[in-house]
């Protein structure tokens, strides 16, 4: 297979198979000998069959939306972490409600971004599947991409349950209402699942930032920076999320 210039590391599709592979193993053009043949021990070129080009835009859009939603997640989990002090949580929640009533377009934009993120994510998930042996992934990246897809499925289920819970628990005591929505009325299975969702969210965002930087072709320029950002964001989300989980399930 002759490597396609559109599948170079600087324009990776995020499938996990392009990084540092084509640059190491390029087959010579037939009969001209202008390029050296790859050494025997070098990895084989990534062979996604050109299908990556059809989803690169979707992956870029998904990554960009994820970065935009990071601000909302930090705010949302930060307020939820105040659940240890009910009075502070009630005041913060009241401020957020006042903000959404005063600037309703912000809530509309947020809902549109979340809906588009979910739709694009479902499209990518259906295309990639949930199996471990994904042919588009390098062997050393296969585990991360496998967990990324499963964490996406866990988050999708949690979001659906979270939205449904808004119809089940009407406005009452602010903290009690939030607790009922987060745990579906104290359901033990939902409490355990919400813990799993927090862990999945931390991994999905951290690994997603690392992968998204590759999709946009900037990770190779600043690999240490993006590795630090991926670990830092994943760690902060985990701390905020687990703190909120403990506050609502104590």
What is the dihedral sign for C-alpha 62, 65, 170, 175? positive
The whole-angstrom separation of Cα 238 and Cα 177 is 23
Residue 207 contacts residue 148 (beta carbons within 8 Å)? yes
CA distance 92 to 247: 15
Asked whether residue 237 is domain-assigned, the answer is yes
Q: Are 247 and 81 in contact (CB under 8 A)?
A: yes
The tally of CA atoms less than 13 A away on the side-chain side of residue 89 is 20
Task: Residue 196: give the domain boundaries.
Answer: 55-249
| Contact in structure between 66 and 206 (CB atoms under 8 Å) | no
- Domain count within the chain: 1
Query: Distance of alpha carbon 145 from its chain centroid, rounded?
Result: 11
3 domain-assigned: no
Burial of 32 (0-12, 13-18, 19+ CB in 10 A): exposed
Q: pLDDT tens digit string along 107-119? A: 899 889 999 999 9
The answer to whether 178 touches 231, Cβ cutoff 8 Å, is no
Is a pLDDT exceeding 50 seen at residue 191? yes
Task: Report pLDDT for 52.
Answer: 54
Q: How long is the chain?
A: 250
d(CA 142, CA 43): 15
Q: Tell me whether residue 96 is in a domain.
A: yes
Confidence class for position 238, pLDDT limits 50, 70, 90: very high
Examine residue 86 and state whether it is found in any structural domain, yes or no: yes
Task: Report yes or no on 215 lying in a domain.
Answer: yes
Asked whether residue 14 is domain-assigned, the answer is no
The domain that holds 128 is classified in CATH as 1.20.1300.10
**Residue 43 within any structural domain of the chain:** no
- Tell me, what's the pLDDT at 27? 43
pLDDT of residue 16: 53
For 121-169, the pLDDT digits (tens) are 999 888 888 887 654 555 457 788 889 999 999 999 998 888 777 766 6
- Would 107 be classed as within a structural domain? yes
- Inter-residue contact 148 to 204 (CB < 8 Å): yes
Neighbours of 49 (CB within 10 A): 10
CB atoms within 10 A of CB 216: 17
Burial class (CB in 10 A: 0-12, 13-18, 19+), 6: exposed
């Amino acid at each position: 297979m002759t490597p396609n210039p559109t599948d170079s590391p600087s324009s990776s599709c995020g499938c996990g198979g392009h990084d540092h592979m084509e640059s190491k193993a390029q087959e010579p053009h037939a009969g001209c000998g202008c390029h050296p043949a790859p050494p025997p021990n070098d990895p084989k070129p990534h062979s996604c069959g050109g299908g990556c080009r059809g989803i690169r835009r979707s992956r870029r859009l998904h990554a960009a939306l994820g970065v935009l939603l990071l601000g909302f997640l930090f705010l949302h989990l930060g307020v939820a972490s105040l659940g240890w002090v009910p009075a502070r949580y009630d005041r913060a929640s009241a401020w957020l409600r006042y903000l959404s009533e005063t600037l309703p377009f912000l809530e509309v934009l947020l809902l549109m971004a979340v809906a588009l993120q979910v739709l694009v994510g479902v499209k990518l998930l259906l295309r990639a599947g949930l199996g471990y042996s994904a042919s588009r992934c390098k062997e050393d990246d296969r585990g991360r991409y496998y967990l990324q897809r499963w964490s996406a499925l866990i988050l999708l289920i949690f979001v659906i349950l979270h939205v449904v819970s808004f119809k089940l628990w009407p406005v009452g005591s602010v903290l009690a209402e939030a607790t009922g929505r987060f745990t579906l009325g104290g359901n033990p299975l939902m409490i355990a699942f919400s813990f799993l969702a927090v862990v999945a969210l931390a991994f999905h965002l951290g690994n997603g930032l690392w992968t998204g930087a590759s999709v946009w072709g900037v990770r190779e320029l600043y690999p240490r920076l993006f590795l630090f950002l991926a670990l830092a964001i994943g760690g902060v989300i985990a701390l905020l999320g687990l703190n909120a989980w403990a506050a609502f399930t104590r």
